[in-house]
Amino acid sequence: MKKISFICLLFLIVSCAKNFDKSNILEVSPPPTAKIEGKHAIFISDENFNQINRIESENCESWALKLNFEEPIKKSIEALVYKIFKDFEIVDQKLEKEKIEESGFVSQISFSDFIGNSKFKTVRNTGMYQISLDTKIEVSNSSKSITNDISSSMNWEKNIFLNCNLQNGAVKSGQKALENLIERIYETTYESIFQIKR
């Protein structure tokens, strides 16, 4: 009888345990792109991704929220760079304007200011989550410079009584926000390069 009770207790503990790290943000595959001619300098800032979470409710197991965009966003940008440019060099610091042409580059593309803002609150019986991802892209050559602030936002809502798990919802909306961000980065980079080449 003791063995049966022990097995039942063990099964209950295992079935109730949850792995809150199983849902993670993943690197995004680049969208279909057109190759850009010329040699370009690419600078991806090594600054940390700044994630700001404002949790205003304890519903939906919000205490377990854990998102990491640090590696996925930078790896996604790097994968996009490999797909966009025929000839490029990843540099470890931003070049001064006069050094861009001197070093044989058509342009320099700098990615920096990686920020994430998320907010969770409960309104009546609904858990409401919003996330926005932001970054800055500067495209420059020896005479011109174009700076773009890129942002992507997504929302997620769930009834707090219907298996509401913020971690799962945040990962789904965060992943979609990252996909949209990478697509916008591609479009903006492409447009900006052709603007400075005019």
Residue ranges of domains in the chain: 35-196
- Answer CATH for 35-196 from 3.40.1110.10, 3.30.160.150, 3.30.200.20, 3.20.20.70: 3.30.160.150
Dihedral sign, Cα of residue 116, residue 117, residue 121, residue 127: negative
Percent of the chain with pLDDT over 70: 89
Tell me how far apart the terminal alpha carbons of the chain are, to the nearest angstrom. Answer: 84
16 pLDDT above the threshold of 90: no
10 pLDDT above the threshold of 60: no
18 pLDDT above the threshold of 70: no
The pLDDT of 153-168, averaged and rounded, is: 95
Could you give the C-alpha distances from 32 to 38, 49, 51, 141, 183, in angstroms and in order?
19, 26, 29, 26, 9
Angle at 39 between CA 70 and CA 93, to 5 degrees: 45
pLDDT band at 12 (very low <50, low <70, confident <90, very high): very low
Three-class secondary structure assignment of 75-115: HHHHHHHHHHEEEEEECCCCCCHHHHHHCCCCEEEEEEEEE
Helix (H) or strand (E) holding 188: helix 166-196
Interatomic CA distance for residues 174 and 40, integer angstroms = 30
5 pLDDT above the threshold of 70: no
174 pLDDT above the threshold of 90: yes
Angle at 73 between CA 185 and CA 61, to 5 degrees: 125
The pLDDT of 121-132, averaged and rounded, is: 95
pLDDT tens, position by position, 97-125: 889 988 999 999 999 999 999 999 999 99
Mean pLDDT, the chain, integer = 87
Percent of the chain with pLDDT over 90: 75
